[in-house]
Amino acid sequence: MYALVERLYPLCRSITGDGVRATLDIVGEYVPLQVHEVPTGTRVLDWTVPQEWNIRDAFVADAAGRRVVDFAASSLHVLGYSVPVSATMRLSELRRHLHTLPDHPAWVPYRTSYYRPEWGFCLAQETLDALPDGEYEVRIDSTLADGHLTYAEHVVPGRVADEVIVSCHVCHPSLANDNLAGIAVAAFLARALAEETPHYTYRFLFAPGTIGAITWLAHNAERIDRVRHGLVLACAGDRGALTYKQSRRGDAEIDRVLRHVLAASGRPHRVVEFTPYGYDERQFCSPGFDLGVGSLTRTPYAGYPEYHTSADDLDFVAPEAMADTLAVCREAFAVLDRNRTYRNLSPYGEPQLGRRGLYDPLGGRSDAKQAQMALLWVLSLSDGEHSLLDVAERAGLPFGAVAAAADALADAGLVGV
């Protein structure tokens, strides 16, 4: 996963353009992608697909021709979606187009101007402070023209057509945690699920933030009713504890599963309430769709000083943190995939488990008591109203033990879905 982040890091991405396509080309080497191109001007819900932005070069050069701000050094140096400019101007005039972080003078901020024509540069405050008065050559070699918005999907077929959405955004430039780590975790999660035969169909979305999710929702109205659960991945590689942001509903099954998995794992973590600010969970959870989609991050949106700055670099993300995020996703989807509601087929009194061989194999096992209690709890709560997750939470037992008990009871003909 870290190697994938390294490959993606230098690319200049935005909400449209060749940087997105180059990113998806690389991700497509890890998982096959179906790429969609949506033309400029297409109406998508209350939005319109904007013009496509591409950039070849940009710089600010002093009187000696030395590039004091250089897009070639980092894609963060240009205000995202800057219109083209070629001019010579004094520093006093240029300043209103320069963006810095005075509180972190060595860092370069990430700034954009997607939906209004503007141009600008981002640089370190200490670089700006060192610039003498005088004239500077300013050049942004960009195009803003009719084109396409690009997004991609990868589908892992399941035993049923009901879907789980896993979404990450592909519009940020050289920001390793937000959201290259999320892209990497999503790609490797898709690969892991493809090695199994999942119950649900898993649809992975690699799309630009906000406008990409809105475009997908607008173009998939016929599929929305199939979406049972969803998870937005972002900020997946920093060294902070995991944070799960619940869906707008707050009681969706994905919310309960993540709460259970994180608590049972013993990992340091936080579970926070939904707010209509953050990543694309706010699009999936908008009232008209009201999907059960939560968001999994490590340190959440804007919760660390390095967020949307050049300090969110390759040193900021940790391979072990991405591995941990991936592990939690796999644990959560294992619960989600296995969670069922059973009905006791022998509900009058406790059925004799010993003669069915459900006690004998447990002799001498260190987890024999836990396994026995799981059998009894599943029988007790299999009334067609309680899921296996309900049983695990009520009994205080690991979900895996409860699921194994349900399998054994189903094989014995004592419970059924």
Tens of pLDDT along 69-92? Answer: 999 999 999 999 999 999 999 999
Give the DSSP per-residue string, 91-160.
HHHHGGGEE--TTSTTPPB--B-TTS----EE--HHHHHTPPSSEEEEEEEEEEES-EEEEEEEEE--SS
Q: What is the mean pLDDT of residues 18-28?
A: 98
Nearest to 163 by CA among 205, 200, 195: 200
pLDDT of 262 reads: 97
Of the candidate ranges 38-42, 141-145, 372-376, the one whose mean pLDDT is the lowest:
372-376
d(CA 118, CA 134): 23
pLDDT of 362 reads: 46
Model pTM score: 0.95
d(CA 282, CA 179): 17
d(CA 12, CA 18): 8
Res. 357 pLDDT band, cuts 50 70 90: confident
d(CA 157, CA 326): 20
Domains annotated for the chain, with CATH where assigned, are: 2-50+148-338 (3.40.630.10), 54-143 (3.50.30.90), 341-416 (1.10.10.10)
pLDDT of 358 reads: 86
For all residues of the chain together, what is the average pLDDT?
A: 96
Rounded to 5°, the CA angle 401-407-409 comes to 100
d(CA 355, CA 362): 13
Res. 365 pLDDT band, cuts 50 70 90: low
Give the DSSP per-residue string, 71-107.
TTT-GGGB-BTPPPEEEEEEHHHHGGGEE--TTSTTP
pLDDT of 366 reads: 58
d(CA 39, CA 59): 30
Given a contact cutoff of 8 angstroms between Cβ atoms, the answer to whether 21 and 329 are in contact is no
Residue 312, burial from CB neighbour count under 10 angstroms (0-12, 13-18, 19+): buried
- Buried-state track 56-73, b at ≥16 Cβ within 10 A, e below 16: eebbbbeeeeebbbbbee
DSSP state of 309: B
Backbone angles phi, psi at 95, to 5 degrees: -55, -35
d(CA 173, CA 171): 7
pLDDT in tens, 168-224: 999 999 999 999 999 999 999 999 999 999 999 999 999 999 999 999 999 999 999
Residue 101 CB contacts under 8 Å (≥ 6 apart), including other chains: 107, 108, 109, 124, 125, 309
